[in-house]
Amino acid sequence: MWRVSPFTYLLEGLLTTGLAGAPATCAPSELLRMVPAAGESCGAYLSDYISTAGGYLVDPQATGSCEYCPLDSTDQFLSGIGLSYGNR
């Protein structure tokens, strides 16, 4: 029902024009940490997932603990809340 309000469209235009297309980086507290399968680097272990879901690894060559950020651009965040730069 929020699409009924004209304020929604104003807000979408302002947010997407100001934020779209910028790189996003995670703070250390926002990183997801996991251990890769034995003998694999983080990049090899998560490559299929990252190619589908997006995001980035802090150190793709690491073998002990992977640090993954689910966002690599502000466009992913905006689409997650239903906003699109194309609607500006």
Going through the chain in order, the beta strands assigned E by DSSP cover 32-34, 56-57, 66-69
Q: What does the domain layout of the chain look like in residue ranges?
A: 2-87
**pLDDT by residue, tens only, the chain of 88 residues:** 467 788 888 888 888 898 888 999 999 999 999 999 999 999 999 999 999 999 999 999 999 999 999 999 998 888 888 888 887 7
Predicted pLDDT of residue 1: 45
Q: How many residues does the chain have?
A: 88
Helix (H) or strand (E) holding 77: helix 74-80
Cα torsion through 84, 27, 62, 72, rounded to 10: 10
pTM: 0.77
